[in-house]
């Protein structure tokens, strides 16, 4: 097997033993199993050759991107770990059509940088963008902080190329806004977490870069009040709100206490803190007026002023420059570090309809009060998407207690019409949740599709679908 892999990818690109190094550890340096070998293909033909070989020999293959996943989707015991990192070309940027053609191994931050030269953005923003690869983001349908305005990764992708488990190359690299030519394999492969095919390239949709941003930290009485503000701001700005992020008091306090340099812009501590950002793509909303500030900032301040009058807003600080804006974002993006520093934490990634977030938070408070009243809830939420990253530091690392709280939070989300996995996906970690909550007919259909496309079950086996 190793000889055959070497013949395909070259000796420098088949790594075993200690040479596998960081490929086999997750973002927090935790080992992710012992693969047979790490293979680093140079192009789509090599990916196809590797999959054909694996399919013929019944060898498992686990595709890996930037190792920033949170669901155990790249655990690779005994498998070929297929690293896409060498296929990292940004092949073309077409400013007129607002598209970029990239290979799966392109780092998201590199794509950001490349399109910025054309006054465009690829609006997929999350903390790990400096190491996450676009192929992994597509395979997990990554979300992040700008979904509210621009959608999930699948909404930012016009076309893909992928290699099926049997080694055939599906070429759907279209730059079209309308293409009703058969089943939508693009959407099927996006979010399939590398179990149905290996995405090797994509056509990405770009957007005009905002000409001006206005960012603020708010303290509000309740999450319901925050959503009222969101609706008002969307109306005033014509849907220009690009981020609306919730941070509770315990999260802000943990950031300030545990991470040097982080601070809150407020004098006092508040229970409900929200980072809001609006972006103006219209010159008339971005051009500074007589007071020196762009109309988009005035719109934000006007809406905040009205809310303050009504008593719903307790405090607000509008960033006056890029440094203040960055400081606000640094607080929000510290969530991964807070999780790491407070390990073990109970975490869960759930979503509910927007108007039920307050109910979810109320139920979670009751769950914590019932099982571990001293636990600290350091959750954050993409509030504008109804997506809560539940994160809770228990008073004692009792596995049963942690499991109970984890499960009850998930059940609460489901009871409110929610999902047990908003943006992190299923991988290995959420297979039990799939078994408990997913519609049985949907699960049976997924299994049938998996078997149809991967008859020998070689591609990322054991992920996403629970054992029957």
CA distance 357 to 230: 13
SS3 at position 37: strand
Query: Where on the phi/psi map is residue 239: left (φ > 0), alpha (ψ -120 to 50), or beta?
Result: left
DSSP for 191-235, written as a single string: TSTTSS-EEEEEEEE-EEPPSEEEEEEEEES-HHHHHHHHHHHHH
The tokens for 462 are: 């054991």
- Determine, following the binding rule CB under 8 A, whether residue 424 of this chain makes contact with a copy of itself: yes
- Determine, following the binding rule CB under 8 A, whether residue 451 of this chain makes contact with a copy of itself: yes
SS3 at position 417: coil
Residue 283 or 288 having the CB closest to a copy of itself: 283
- Nearest-approach distance from CB 407 to a copy of itself, in angstroms: 16
CA distance 421 to 418: 9
- Determine, following the binding rule CB under 8 A, whether residue 237 of this chain makes contact with a copy of itself: yes
Which segment (82-90, 244-252, 282-290, 399-407) binds a copy of itself by CB under 8 A? 282-290
- Cβ 26 vs Cβ 32: under 8 Å: yes
- Determine, following the binding rule CB under 8 A, whether residue 287 of this chain makes contact with a copy of itself: no
Give the number of other Cβ atoms within 10 Å of residue 151's Cβ.
16
- Determine, following the binding rule CB under 8 A, whether residue 96 of this chain makes contact with a copy of itself: yes
Residue 167 or 265 having the CB closest to a copy of itself: 167
Which segment (54-62, 191-199, 250-258, 373-381) binds a copy of itself by CB under 8 A? 191-199
Burial (CB count within 10 angstroms: exposed 0-12, middle 13-18, buried 19+), residue 452: exposed
- Determine, following the binding rule CB under 8 A, whether residue 417 of this chain makes contact with a copy of itself: yes
Q: Which of residues 121-140 bind a copy of itself (CB under 8 A)?
A: 140
Which segment (129-137, 249-257, 280-288, 315-323) binds a copy of itself by CB under 8 A? 280-288
- Determine, following the binding rule CB under 8 A, whether residue 22 of this chain makes contact with a copy of itself: no
Among 332, 363, 382, 429, binds a copy of itself (CB under 8 A): 382
Number of residues that bind a copy of itself (CB under 8 A): 91
Which segment (75-83, 103-111, 324-332, 449-457) binds a copy of itself by CB under 8 A? 449-457
Give the number of other Cβ atoms within 10 Å of residue 133's Cβ.
27
- Determine, following the binding rule CB under 8 A, whether residue 147 of this chain makes contact with a copy of itself: yes
Among 86, 112, 174, 221, binds a copy of itself (CB under 8 A): 174
């Amino acid at each position: 097997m190793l000889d055959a892999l070497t013949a395909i990818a070259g000796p420098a690109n088949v790594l075993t033993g200690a040479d596998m190094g960081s490929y086999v550890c997750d973002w927090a340096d935790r080992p992710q199993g012992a693969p047979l070998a790490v293979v680093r293909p140079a192009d789509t033909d090599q990916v196809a050759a590797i999959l054909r070989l694996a399919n013929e020999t019944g060898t498992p293959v686990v595709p890996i991107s930037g190792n920033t996943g949170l669901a155990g989707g790249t655990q690779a015991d005994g498998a070929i770990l297929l690293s896409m990192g060498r296929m990292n070309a940004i092949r073309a940027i077409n400013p007129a059509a607002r598209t970029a053609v990239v290979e799966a191994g392109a780092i998201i931050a590199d794509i950001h940088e490349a399109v910025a030269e054309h006054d465009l953005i690829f609006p997929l923003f999350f903390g790990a963008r400096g190491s996450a690869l676009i192929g992994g983001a597509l395979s997990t349908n990554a979300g992040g902080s700008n979904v509210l305005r621009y959608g999930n990764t699948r909404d930012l992708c016009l076309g893909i190329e992928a290699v099926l488990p049997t080694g055939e190359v599906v070429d759907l690299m279209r730059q079209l806004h309308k293409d009703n030519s058969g089943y939508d394999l693009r959407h099927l492969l996006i979010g399939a977490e590398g179990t149905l095919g290996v995405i090797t390239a994509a056509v990405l949709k770009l957007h005009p870069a905002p000409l001006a941003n206005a960012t603020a930290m708010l303290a509000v009485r309740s999450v319901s009040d925050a959503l009222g503000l969101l609706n008002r701001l969307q109306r005033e700005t014509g849907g220009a709100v690009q981020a609306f992020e919730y941070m509770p008091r315990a999260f802000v306090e943990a950031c300030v206490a545990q991470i040097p340099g982080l601070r809150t812009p407020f004098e006092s501590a508040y229970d409900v803190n929200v980072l809001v950002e609006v972006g103006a793509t219209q010159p008339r909303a971005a051009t500074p007026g007589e007071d020196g500030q762009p109309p988009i900032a005035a719109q934000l301040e006007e809406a905040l002023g009205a809310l303050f009058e009504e008593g719903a807003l307790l405090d607000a600080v509008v960033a006056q420059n890029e440094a203040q804006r960055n400081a606000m974002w640094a607080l929000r993006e510290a969530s991964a570090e807070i999780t790491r520093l407070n390990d073990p934490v109970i975490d869960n990634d759930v979503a509910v309809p927007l108007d039920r977030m307050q109910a979810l938070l109320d139920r979670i408070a009751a769950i914590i009060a019932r099982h571990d009243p001293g636990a600290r809830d350091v959750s954050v939420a993409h509030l504008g998407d109804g997506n809560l990253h539940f994160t809770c530091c228990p008073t004692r690392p009792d596995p049963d207690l942690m499991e109970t709280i984890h499960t009850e939070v998930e059940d609460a989300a489901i009871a409110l019409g929610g999902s047990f996995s908003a943006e992190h996906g299923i991988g290995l970690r959420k297979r039990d949740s799939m078994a408990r909550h997913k519609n049985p007919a949907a699960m049976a259909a997924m299994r049938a599709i998996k078997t149809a496309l991967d008859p020998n079950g070689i591609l990322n086996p054991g992920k996403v679908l629970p054992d029957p």
